[in-house]
Every structure is written in C-alpha cells, then in structure tokens.
Copies of this chain bind each other. A is one copy, B any other.
C-alpha cells in the first residue's frame, strides 16, 4: 500500500494553495481565514502529513457551508497576566485561531520569556505541527495540543474516550530546518484504519479494538483505537492523551473531547467548541541563545550518527518531513483518485480554475 499505488496525479503546491484559498473564498471564508487554512493544509501536504493536508478541504467546505464554522469570525484575546492569555476563536477556523494564538504567545515570550495561550470556541485546526513550526520559524520553542471527539480507548475501557489528542513540539535549529515532533497519542490515526478496512488489509497488532474493548487486527471490526503503548502499556498513551485534554479544554473553559459533537457529522451546523493549547518559549531567555544552539546541534549530530538496525535509518523528528517537502516542492503533491475527483468537483461547484494535474 505505497503512496504511488494510489496516486492519481500530482499538483504544484502553489497551485494547491491558490485553489484552496479560492474554494474557501467561494464558500464564504474571509481573507484571514482562508489564508490560514490554505497555509496549514499546504504545509501538512508538503511535509507528507497526508492525513491532515489537502484531504481535509472537502470537509472544511461542508463545515463552512453548513454553518458549523464561521467564515468571518471575530477572534478575541483576553490577557490577565503577562505570560498567559485566552483566545476565543468565535467558532471560526481552528487554523486561524492557531496561527493567531501562536503569534500572540511569541509576542509574550519576547516580553517575559514564555507565553501560553488557551483557545476556546474553535474547530479542527489540521496538523498540530503547523503551529509549533510557526513558533520555531520565529526562533522560539513551540508546543501545540488539541482535543477532539472520542476515538481512543482509555487504558482498560470498552469505549473510546479521548480523541487522538496530538502533541507537537518544535525547536529552531541554527542554519537548518526546525526540529519537529508531531504525534497523535494513539499509534495510528482513525483514517488509516479506514484505509485498511477498504482493502481488507490486516492491521498491525495492538493498535485497535472491537466494541467490547478487545484488540483486533481486522480493520473492519474496529470500534476504537488503542492509546500508544497498546494493551500492555497504553496507560502511558492514555495518560498523555489526558494531559493534552486537560491543557486543551479546562484552561479555556470548554467541554472535554468526550462531549464534543463528532467532527464527521451529521450535524454540520452547530459549532463544536474545540479547544487548543499553545506554549512558546524563547531559548535565549534561559542561558545565552548561542549556548542553546550549540547544545541542540551537538545532540542532533550524535543522534543522527547512531548506528541503525539493518535496513532502517536513524532520523531526528522532522528529518523525514523536510526531505518530503523538498521532494514535493519539485515533483508536486500527490492526490489519490478520490481526492482528484473531489477537487475536480469542487472546481465545478464553485466555477474555479481547476488544479493543473501532472
């Protein structure tokens, strides 16, 4: 099940950005919203995070047209103290809220060394890594967290409770692309299970469960994902998912993920009240920035020189993503057959210049 087996065509990332913006504009998104969504989706697709890239546009258009997401929100920031703030996303796109929150956290970190922003009344924000990355691109350490509706079992529970609640962490690396970790607290995302179910391929062991909570490798029997660590050590993944939930919902006074309306619908008119949490630190606010840069470079050098198991490579978080980005900037971003057809339909529906398919 390599990507190429499913690839229908490739598109240039700038053309994709243009198309996403135009489609969102046609569906009622204001300029700030459509720029933020296009930036996040193209960033994810370039990095190879295909589960959180261009695949999501049809869903976002439905959420926008259904009224779940406001196309012209008025996000507002409330700040009590110098290092902490709450951003009310006003039911707009999570991507707009995410980039605004990170920028505000960066500005707080410039003043007091660190800044945290809890976001409420938001919606799906795509890949968490986009926002951590946005901080690193401004020379800061960035972290991003988000809750979601339930897909993942607690340790020992029969039913899903947490979302795939991601943790993203990025650090600026002098003279290189940033260090970038972006991980769900389940082993795989739910849409990977759906892909496997569609072709009858067995799942890896210990990542998903049936409706009574017992593990299965039959993707068609899956009711929920196991937290990372599986049946034996999933209390660790579940604990991390819980940490993400507490940070994402309680600080912004939002309901927790188990109580959220499902992202997949059928209700596409009621705002969901998703919560995010962002943390930014200035590495130069501890010791000298040059010391941080040197220590991080030493660490990455040692890491990349470790002897791999035969047939594998030892990579730092982000190495694979930046390599994919460089390749895809050259060769284009792949669309599978379903995505190609959806993008053609979107072009027709909104009378847009279609993507140039290679």
Contacts and interface: CB of A to CB of B under 8 A. Distances in A.
B158 A85 contact: no
Interface string A141-156: 1000000000000111
Contacts of A298: 255-256
A213 B312 CA distance: 11
Interface stretch (A11-19, A34-42, A244-252): A244-252
Interface residues of A, number: 85
Contacts of A214: 309
Nearest to A312: B156
- How many monomers of this protein are in the complex? 2
B80 A82 contact: no
Contacts of A308: 156-158
Contact of A245 (B207, B253, B255, B299): B299
B317 A239 contact: yes
Interface string A113-157: 111101000000000000000000000010000000000001111
B158 A309 contact: yes
Interface in A272-317: 279, 281-283, 285-288, 291-292, 295-296, 298-299, 302-303, 306-309, 312-317
A96 interface: no
A86 B312 CA distance: 38
A306 B116 contact: no
A63 interface: no
20 contacts: A81-B282, A84-B113, A84-B114, A84-B282, A84-B286, A158-B308, A181-B242, A183-B240, A187-B233, A187-B236, A204-B232, A206-B232, A229-B229, A245-B299, A250-B292, A250-B295, A251-B281, A252-B286, A253-B295, A279-B279
Given A112-B112, A242-B317, A253-B287, 12 more contacts: A80-B286, A84-B281, A154-B303, A155-B312, A157-B314, A161-B303, A171-B246, A179-B246, A187-B233, A204-B233, A250-B299, A258-B299
